[in-house]
Amino acid sequence: MGIKEDLPTLARHEGVWDGTYRYYNAEGKLVDEHTSRLFCRFPDEGPFPYHQTNHYTWADGRTEVREFPAEYRDGRIWWDNDLIKGWASDMTLDTNNRTTVLYWQRTGDPELYLYEMIQLSDDGKKRCRTWHWIRGGVLETRTAIEEKLVSRDWRGMEADMVKKAA
């Protein structure tokens, strides 16, 4: 079996997602907010069976792009790059097939780790995500993310972005 068959809930995330990230400190105060466009891919070719690209935009005009190629083994996708080291997998105990769970550490900062839960709507067109950032066993930050599916055709949208940039 392949990655999509082994991780059917994660496979339902394939496509392009627009959303909003909101970061709260441990006391619950909003400390950052920005919009996002995420490309979640299961490429047919190349060294990585999963590759996510995150495009972030802040109200002041700042932008950032982050790449998250992942390997697949042992029923999980695995990241190991300059930013994070960790994994994601379907939560098999969720018989509704709505939940994906992630764990990762910031590269070079072993005191900081994060758990994320992604809840996908039954129609696969909306999702919400929560992150708990923990440093030395103490909650440091919470992130709440709401997203909607823009398109399942990430290939076409990616090609359009390349054309516009040229």
Number of domains in the chain: 1
Q: Residue 81 belongs to what domain range?
A: 3-165
Neighbour count for residue 87 (Cβ, 10 Å): 18
Which tens digit of pLDDT belongs to each residue from 115-133? 999 999 999 999 999 999 9
3-state secondary structure of 35: strand
Query: At CA 110, angle to CA 104 and CA 113, rounded to 5?
Result: 35
- The count of other CB atoms within 10 Å of the CB of residue 111 is 12
The pLDDT-based confidence of 80 (bands split at 50, 70, 90) is very high
Which long-range contacts (C-beta less than 8 Å, at least 24 apart) are formed by 63-72? 72/3, 72/6
Residue 133 neighbours by CB under 8 Å, 6+ apart: 112, 113, 114, 139, 140, 141, 142, 143
- pLDDT above 90: residue 48: yes
Phi-psi region of 137 (alpha: psi -120 to 50; beta: other; left: phi over 0): left
Indicate the pTM of the whole model. 0.95
**What separation, in Å, do the N-terminal and C-terminal C-alpha atoms of the chain show?**
39
CATH number, domain at 67? 2.40.128.20
Distance CA 117, CA 128 (A): 8
Q: What percent of the chain has pLDDT over 90?
A: 93
Six-digit token pair at 132? Answer: 């708990």
